[in-house]
Amino acid sequence: MSIMAINVAEEEYFRSQEADQRREEAWDDLRRANQAEQARLKAGGLGLCPECKTRLERRTLRGVELDQCGSCRGSWIKAGELQQLGTQKQRCFLAKVFAFGRGGVDK
């Protein structure tokens, strides 16, 4: 193998290593941002709508707290909150709210 070919292969190797490092740093930045957002949400802050990325607003409907998007009108409930609801009547109400928000008709 000639010296020229070795230099080209060496340069390609280092470019590849640098690209891998930049990708890993970008993933680390995303992980840190996600962890910060999760911590903020656990502390009671509201996030962004999963559908249209608009800031969610906290709404109380019949004693049930929901995160609602002012733009697409989607209603979101945090994991575990539905199970914490005390009565079947409230669960039925929420099922209707979610069906209506999805465009479904619940009779």
pTM of the model: 0.38
Q: Is 82 exposed, middle or buried (0-12, 13-18, 19+ CB in 10 A)?
A: middle
| Structure-token pair, residue 61 | 């409907």
For residues 97-103, average pLDDT: 63
- pLDDT value of position 18: 95
14-33 pLDDT, tens digit per residue, is 999 999 999 999 999 999 98
- As a whole number of angstroms, the distance between CA 78 and CA 80 comes to 6
- As a whole number of angstroms, the distance between CA 13 and CA 8 comes to 9
CB atoms within 10 A of CB 91: 14
Cα 5 → chain centroid:
47
What percent of the chain is helix, strand and coil (3-state, nearest 5)?
A: 55, 15, 30
